[in-house]
Structure 1
Amino acid sequence: MNRLIAAIPALVTLATMAVPAAATPEPSTAHAVCGAAQPGHVRCYAQVRGDVHGTHGVRPLAAPPQGYGPADLRDAYDLPETGAAHQTIAIVDMGDDPSAEADLAVYRQTYGLPPCTTENGCFKKVNQRGDASPLPQDWGWGPEISLDLDMASAACPSCSILLVEADDPGLANAAEAENTAVALGADVVSNSYGIDESNGLDKFAAAYKHPGVAIVASSGDSGYGIPSFPAVLDSVVGVGGTSLTKADNARGWTESAWNRASSGCSAWFAKPAWQHDENCPGRMVADVAAVADPNTGPAVYDSYDGYGWTVIGGTSASAPYLSGVIALAGHAERFGDASSLYTAVSGLNDVTAGSNARYTDCGGDYQCTSGPGYDGPTGMGTPAGLAAFGG
């Protein structure tokens, strides 16, 4: 694969710089669920709060868990409570979480969402070959899996959920799991993982391109810099992240770019015809966004790793939530790429504040700084109802 950009212009040079004043402070208690990945392996992008020590089991709504619940997120993004019951959201993760279904049941019961179980046909868990057994070993992705299942449920409680667990975080196994998810009937496939783009990754691109199926991926949690694969593919909806807080305004909420949500200009993947930002000659990430800041993040239930009720963020939260929004609208077939988001005339909140220039400066350019219209950290914006998603 030929490198598209021989030398990144000075405006987007990846030089280490001081964090600009626009960047918000990172919560000192948030830490990555997945550590550094081995070469050729992906890592998950979940960020768990270390200062939230919740109880275990179903909680009464009179004393809800800390963090945003489904009703909060529906209000923030102006979404209906119910939608496309015929849609299936596939979650692709690495390794097994033996408590995934049981923990999902606690989350859904706490918030009054309908049961989603193996018994009633709503939930299914398989390995990367599509079989119920043998399931892979635990790769430490339990909190990530819980986050993915809970966020998909929060956005589309009437959707079916397919959890595909890859043997390990290797790129080839992730690609096989992706193909399996589609073969088993997924309308939307959510991927909360990635690896820095580099030469040779194009050989896995076909696994993330399936006409009629929406493929969604997290942009990453390293701020402005090298784009993440598979979010950088033009067949994938790349999801950035915001900080979301309640506010005394007409919307009732305010959002700014989360300072760790990744964005970047590809040096390896060509710019799609439907993307028109001026200063990046390659594919630009992200396309759209939702809440990702763990300091303003969602409540998640994970008993397998001992957390119980906690708060988990990262673009690992925004990707499955956007997957649920696409499924809720009922027209996932329109999202074989992100092009429709760039032509939407309504249905998106334009995020105009915040920066993700944590370690690398882009000179205040849209690639790392939110402003009116398109920007790297939040793409075209966040959901404002279902109009931009075909609903």
Structure 2
Amino acid sequence: MRTAPHTRPNTPATRRRWHRVSGAAAAVAALVLAGLGVTTQATAATTSTAHTTKPHVTWTRSCATPSKKGEMACNALRVTGGTTAFQLEKAARKGVTPKAADASSPSGYGPSDLQDAYGLTAAATSNGSGETIAIVDAYDDPNAESDLAAYRSEYGLPACTTSNGCFKKVSQTGSTTSLPTADSGWATEISLDLDMVSATCPNCNILLVEAKSSSMANLGTAVNRAVTLGAKFVSNSYGGSESSSDTSYDSSYFNHPGVAITVSAGDSGYGAEYPAASKYVTSVGGTALSTSSSSRGWTEKVWSTSSSEGTGSGCSSYDAKPSWQTDTSCSKRMIADVSAVADPATGVSVYDTYGADGEGWATYGGTSASSPIIASVYALAGTPSSSSYPARFPYESAGTSALNDVTSGSNGSCSTTYFCTARSGYDGPTGWGTPQGVDAFTG
């Protein structure tokens, strides 16, 4: 691990210049990719005029598919090979051949990238102090605090430790000592979640609540524990099949006025998952994020690799439609509400030494990245009023410059076009779009 802060341009204008690529450098990158010969699971097209190549990566799911009803799987995807958008941009900027990723340095987007892409640079600097974001996951990550420290040190973020009161890890019972069994798959999920909160809201406190298993009952109990301990922002990067029990789970675990609860929409392409389908949560879809020559400096489209790999979306079979959701072709709850980066090929850097290969730096994607990002944007926007349901806030800003409307891409085949295909305005895969500042996340 490098201990020196990883400094990069922060202003939008500087950030765009930082990503500007010469034709010669792009040609070098193209030749390198052509020689890789990698079989890809995830490919994200780059529409930037600064690129003539596309990132191509292979990846693996961090958590096993649930084996029985009521179990949840985490939505973290770890890149195992190929070349990410970040690597291509970095190599092209220097006019060199892209290097293969290794565990000694980041190979995905970091804090300055995410803050710039979503108009959060100023808010991330000045907001978030005193706010607590809870991360709810299953099982224990024994290295959570030390891995978090390594990530924050790399990027020059303020320390967040148990000793300074910024970080706290508890079980679903609230115990700081009697923790669940460790699990390497969920440990990578935990690292991803903690790092995305750090990247988006570096001044926020972090509460990690670990459920004793991946059952909805235990994860739901952990959500309740997070709220009991004072968290006003709770991120849940997991999901499973819908069931007739979902409405009871809604009332038991997710009906918390005054708390912004975010949930990943899923990584298996078109189709509804729970708890993203809960009417009390903000369901978060996923995009492919790339630099561009636009005034924003970035462009996004629906994240989709195939009909079974990409962001989730769809019309719930069980959950009632919330009053603020007004699309007309789905009579029940529609997924998603908003979105953020999730494509592994345009993925984010994560530091983890317990899960996966346990070597340090890796690149991750999945809607497990987008959920904690959106929870952190809510935190930057300030504490919700005690009687509010923050899931409705983006709907109040629909169609404004407070959200980046994502209008291209599809995550599968569906009989009702907007259920699976991006369009101007609301659509299932990306909701109302991605953050452009915090205004869409205040009541």
Task: State whether TM-score is above 0.5.
Answer: yes
- Which residue does 2:353 correspond to in 1? 303
Q: Deviations over 1:2-45 (max 9, x none)?
A: xxxxxxxxxxxxxxxxxxxx997995511111111121211100
- Which residue does 1:72 correspond to in 2? 113
Q: CA deviation at 1:273?
A: 1.7
Whether 1:389 aligns to 2:441 is yes
Whether the aligned pair in 1 keeps the contact of 2:44 and 2:346 (CA below 8 Å) is no
SS state at 1:373 partner: coil
Query: Which of 111, 133, 145 is the equivalent residue of 1:101?
Result: 145
Q: CA deviation at 1:133?
A: 1.6
Whether 1:325 aligns to 2:377 is yes
- Which residue does 1:222 correspond to in 2? 268
Query: Which of 336, 348, 356 is the equivalent residue of 1:286?
Result: 336
Q: Give me the whole-angstrom Cα distance separating, in 2, the residues matched to 1:348 and 1:71.
A: 19
Q: Give me the whole-angstrom Cα distance separating, in 1, the residues matched to 2:303 and 2:187.
A: 24
- Which residue does 1:368 correspond to in 2? 420
Q: Deviations over 1:209-263 (max 9, x none)?
A: 11111111000011112x1111111110000000000011111000001010000
Q: Deviations over 1:267-303 (max 9, x none)?
A: 1111112111121111000000000001001111011
- Which residue does 1:350 correspond to in 2? 405
Whether the aligned pair in 2 keeps the contact of 1:53 and 1:307 (CA below 8 Å) is no
Q: CA deviation at 1:180?
A: 0.4
One-letter code of the match for 2:117? A
- Which residue does 1:16 correspond to in 2? none
Q: Give me the whole-angstrom Cα distance separating, in 2, the residues matched to 1:323 and 1:332.
A: 12
Q: Give me the whole-angstrom Cα distance separating, in 1, the residues matched to 2:423 and 2:280.
A: 25
Whether the aligned pair in 2 keeps the contact of 1:298 and 1:311 (CA below 8 Å) is yes
TM-score normalised per structure 1: 0.88
- Which residue does 1:200 correspond to in 2? 245
Whether the aligned pair in 2 keeps the contact of 1:187 and 1:332 (CA below 8 Å) is yes
One-letter code of the match for 1:71? S
Q: Give me the whole-angstrom Cα distance separating, in 2, the residues matched to 1:26 and 1:250.
A: 23
Structure 2: tracts of 5 or more residues without a match: 1-42, 46-53, 82-99, 305-309
- Which residue does 1:6 correspond to in 2? none
Query: Which of 33, 44, 66 is the equivalent residue of 2:74?
Result: 44
Q: CA deviation at 1:53?
A: 4.4
Q: Give me the whole-angstrom Cα distance separating, in 2, the residues matched to 1:221 and 1:310.
A: 19
SS state at 2:417 partner: coil
**In the superposition, relative to structure 1, how do residues 232 and 151 fare at CA in structure 2: closer, same or farther (>3 Å)?**
same
Q: Give me the whole-angstrom Cα distance separating, in 2, the residues matched to 1:313 and 1:23.
A: 12
Aligned positions of 1:163-182 closer than 5 A? 163-182=208-227
Q: Give me the whole-angstrom Cα distance separating, in 1, the residues matched to 2:288 and 2:44.
A: 11
Q: Give me the whole-angstrom Cα distance separating, in 1, the residues matched to 2:110 and 2:429.
A: 24
Identity of aligned residues (%): 52
Q: Give me the whole-angstrom Cα distance separating, in 2, the residues matched to 1:43 and 1:333.
A: 32
Query: Which of 371, 376, 379 is the equivalent residue of 2:431?
Result: 379
Q: Give me the whole-angstrom Cα distance separating, in 2, the residues matched to 1:142 and 1:178.
A: 18
Whether 1:87 aligns to 2:131 is yes
Report the structure, 1 or 2, having the larger helix content: 2
Q: Higher RCO, 1 or 2 (CA under 8 Å, sep at least 6)?
A: 1
One-letter code of the match for 1:119? S
One-letter code of the match for 1:354? G
Q: Which has the larger radius of gyration?
A: 2
SS state at 1:228 partner: coil
- Which residue does 1:211 correspond to in 2? 257
SS state at 1:190 partner: strand
Whether the aligned pair in 2 keeps the contact of 1:23 and 1:355 (CA below 8 Å) is no
- Which residue does 1:188 correspond to in 2? 233
Whether the aligned pair in 1 keeps the contact of 2:171 and 2:210 (CA below 8 Å) is yes
Q: CA deviation at 1:363?
A: 4.5
Whether the aligned pair in 1 keeps the contact of 2:44 and 2:343 (CA below 8 Å) is no
Aligned positions of 1:228-247 closer than 5 A? 228-247=273-292
RMSD: 1.9
Whether the aligned pair in 1 keeps the contact of 2:258 and 2:390 (CA below 8 Å) is no
Whether the aligned pair in 2 keeps the contact of 1:219 and 1:315 (CA below 8 Å) is yes
SS state at 1:126 partner: strand
- Which residue does 1:265 correspond to in 2? 315
Whether the aligned pair in 1 keeps the contact of 2:283 and 2:337 (CA below 8 Å) is yes
Query: Which of 96, 103, 112 is the equivalent residue of 1:55?
Result: 103
Q: Deviations over 1:300-347 (max 9, x none)?
A: 101112141110010000000111111011133486242121121431
- Which residue does 1:31 correspond to in 2? 60
- Which residue does 1:141 correspond to in 2? 186
Q: Answer with 146-155 or 205-214: which moved more.
A: 205-214
**In the superposition, relative to structure 1, how do residues 371 and 23 fare at CA in structure 2: closer, same or farther (>3 Å)?**
farther
Q: Give me the whole-angstrom Cα distance separating, in 2, the residues matched to 1:26 and 1:183.
A: 43
Whether the aligned pair in 2 keeps the contact of 1:346 and 1:387 (CA below 8 Å) is no
**In the superposition, relative to structure 1, how do residues 307 and 355 fare at CA in structure 2: closer, same or farther (>3 Å)?**
farther
Q: CA deviation at 1:71?
A: 0.2
SS state at 1:196 partner: coil
